[in-house]
């Protein structure tokens, strides 16, 4: 039996990786599997929370998560998050969001013209959904949690970059997650440091993505007692 310690809490978790359309058949994407986000949604549901998973291009099994909203691009992810956030006690942005998107998306497929080189793809910056949600607090008292996948050979550097990101984003909690070199993306296990908005360590966790998910929820519960009823 799992303790129902998140009962009464409404949570929204984003997971997966966004795809930014280049034309009707091509996109700019990333390697996020969405497994950590699915594990977070699943753990919250098992612990009694009312969960909505906003899944960006998920192909992994959803492990029984009941309420799933499917999105593709960053624009769609942002729209869903902003629609759901006003009713959420906790918002967790696990999705890997593209920093940039093609400035224009032609209605028909871009063709290769013989004798001509590749046409450049102009990019424009995407809004930072996490930073917006943290700044605007669409529900008063809401806890906003972000993830930071950081690459680096030196774990010290990884934590350092993560702490700086925490201060920039303004989320209540940022889960710093080393990726690359067989870590993080697409793997079964994770090793994370959870920091607050000042970049100070509040918890550490390692293990399966489910174990890391449970550690994140434990930290959320400690950081701020349940607000809703």
Active site residues: 30
Number of residues in contact with ligand C5P under rule CB under 6 A: 12
165 is in an annotated binding site: yes
Q: Is 154 helix (H, G, I), strand (E, B) or coil?
A: coil
Residue 91: name the closest of 149, 154, 158, 136 by CA: 136
With CB under 6 A as the contact rule, the residue among 129, 158, 173, 192 that binds ligand C5P is: 129
* Touching ligand C5P, residues 24-43 (CB under 6 A): none
With CB under 6 A as the contact rule, the residue among 130, 158, 194, 205 that binds ligand C5P is: 130
224 neighbors 51 (Cβ within 8 angstroms): no
> Least distance from C-beta 14 to ligand C5P, angstroms?
6
> Least distance from C-beta 165 to ligand C5P, angstroms?
6
> Least distance from C-beta 149 to ligand C5P, angstroms?
6
- Centroid of chain to Cα 13: 7
128 is in an annotated binding site: yes
209 is in an annotated binding site: no
CA distance 89 to 5: 14
Q: Does 49 bind ligand C5P (CB under 6 A)?
A: no
Q: Does 128 bind ligand C5P (CB under 6 A)?
A: yes
CA distance 136 to 132: 6
* Touching ligand C5P, residues 60-119 (CB under 6 A): 93, 95, 97, 99
Q: Does 50 bind ligand C5P (CB under 6 A)?
A: no
Whichever of 22 and 110 has its CB closer to ligand C5P, that residue is 22
* Touching ligand C5P, residues 140-179 (CB under 6 A): 146-148, 165
214 is in an annotated binding site: no
CA distance 103 to 115: 25
With CB under 6 A as the contact rule, the residue among 33, 73, 80, 126 that binds ligand C5P is: 126
From first CA to last CA, the distance across the chain in angstroms is 23
**193-229 core/surface letters (b: 16 or more CB in 10 A; e: else):** bbbbbebeeebebeeebbebbbbbbbbbbebeebeee
Burial (0-12, 13-18, 19+ Cβ within 10 Å), 15: buried
The annotation places the binding site for CTP at 99, 109, 127-130, 147, 165, 169
Residues at the contact surface with ligand C5P, assessed by CB under 6 A: 93, 95, 97, 99, 126, 128-130, 146-148, 165
């Amino acid at each position: 039996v799992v303790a129902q310690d998140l009962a009464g809490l409404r949570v929204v978790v984003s997971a997966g990786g966004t795809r930014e359309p280049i034309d009707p058949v091509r996109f700019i994407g990333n390697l996020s599997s969405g497994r950590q986000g699915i594990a977070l949604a699943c753990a919250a549901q098992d612990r009694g929370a009312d969960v909505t998973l906003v899944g960006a291009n998920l192909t992994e099994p959803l492990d029984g998560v009941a309420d799933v909203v499917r999105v593709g691009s960053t624009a769609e992810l942002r729209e869903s998050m902003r629609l759901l956030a006003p009713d959420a006690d906790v918002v967790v942005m696990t999705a890997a969001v593209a920093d940039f998107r093609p400035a224009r998306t032609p209605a028909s497929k871009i063709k290769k013209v013989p004798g001509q080189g590749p046409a450049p793809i102009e990019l424009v910056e995407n809004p930072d959904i996490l930073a917006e949600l943290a700044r605007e607090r669409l529900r008063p008292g809401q806890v906003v949690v972000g993830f930071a996948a950081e690459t680096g050979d030196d774990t010290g550097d990884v934590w350092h970059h993560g702490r700086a990101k925490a201060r920039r984003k303004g989320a209540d909690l940022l889960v710093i997650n080393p990726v690359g070199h067989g870590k993080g993306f697409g793997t079964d296990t994770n090793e994370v440091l959870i920091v607050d908005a000042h970049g100070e360590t509040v918890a550490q966790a390692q293990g399966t993505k489910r174990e890391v998910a449970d550690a994140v929820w434990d930290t959320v519960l400690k950081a701020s007692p349940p607000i809703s009823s």
